Amino acid sequence: MSPPPRGFRLDRGRIAQYCLSTTILVLLAGAPASARTWLVTDDGGGDAATIQAGIDSAAAGDTVLVGAGTYTGAGNCNIDFSGKAVTLRSESGPGVTTIDCGGTSSGISFLSGEDASSVVQGLEIRNALDSGIYCRQAAPTIRDCIVVEGVGHGVLCQAGGSPTIQGSTIAGNEGRGVLCQAECDPCLERCVITGNGGGIYLMDQCEPTLRECTISANAADRGAGIRGQFFTTATVERCIVWGNCATAAGNEILMEIACDQVTLTCCAVDSTGIEGAGTVTFDGPQCFGDPLFCDPESCANAPVNGGDYTLAANSPCLPDQSPCATLIGAGGEGCAAVAVDPSTWAEIKNRYRDAN
């Protein structure tokens, strides 16, 4: 069921009537049928010949299970959930289960009011034309996916598209990692957004929430890490926004005009890369020093899919060293302590500065 439009008000009398009618129908219908799993294999020999055929065959509550392999061509790209509350997931994880769009078609679309019960889990989507994942007036759940090396954007949200994206990597796309236009309120948690033609771009009354994300090595003309334009209100919690490059303005964060605003809570950010006429609020202490990634890519190489964005043992973003005593960013400790360039000590002295 899609979320109500803005300004919508519920009539309690009609709700009561609806609930009574629904109860009667459930009693008459009896117990629901058991959910089914539809297997799709790369040789077309499963329960459905293609991923799209599996979704078309599935009923609410069913799972379309995708076996290991690479999926291309008609029925395996330009996939449309068609409003169904089904789970599309890999059998063996995104490392061995790939939808390859070949640069000529898009990945997966949600266009029919899908909500959190429409789920994509554990797939890699690469070489998408316009977007790897497209949400329009829908709010699906995306978990543990990899969206890489697309000709367009990694994730495109329009007209209220507000997905929840968890534990996913969006990297090496020629367009933005995430582009949202017109009243989109996505929630991104524990995501790595790196090496794209810009990290996250928010336009026209978008209100995103970012938690424990790493946004690095992205390159764009303006707002290479996070860019807000036209009444953006962004909430950013325990995220790393570091090492992005903009040719014109806002290496890390750009709030373009006075009505744009972002609130940072316990984040690691290069404060010299924050620009724009909008409002940036630091809620409590932040980390303004180098997060010390294990092996990051340079933003000069974007678009690029690569790099290790876990943290060195001496990173100021690890729980025992962070200003809020909890992990900042999407990656935990991944390598031994690394040397720190002495020229950065002035920044490191401000690591725990409380901007309030």
103-148 residue pLDDT tens:
999 999 999 999 999 999 999 999 999 999 999 999 999 999 999 9
DSSP string, 60-117: TT-EEEEPSEEE-SBTTBSEE-TT---EEEESS-TTSEEEE-TTTS--EEE-S---TT
* pLDDT greater than 80 at residue 355: no
User: Domain 36-349 falls in which CATH fold?
Assistant: Pectate Lyase C-like (2.160.20)
* pLDDT greater than 60 at residue 14: no
**Cβ contact 64:85 at 8 Å:** no
Sketch the domain layout of the chain as residue ranges.
36-349
* pLDDT greater than 80 at residue 30: no
DSSP state of 351: T
pLDDT band at 33; cut points 50, 70, 90: low
The answer to whether the bond into 32 is cis (omega within 30° of 0) is: no
Question: pTM of the predicted model, to two decimals?
Answer: 0.86
* pLDDT greater than 80 at residue 211: yes
97's CB contacts (< 8 A; 6+ apart) are 66, 67, 68, 69, 90, 91, 122, 123, 124
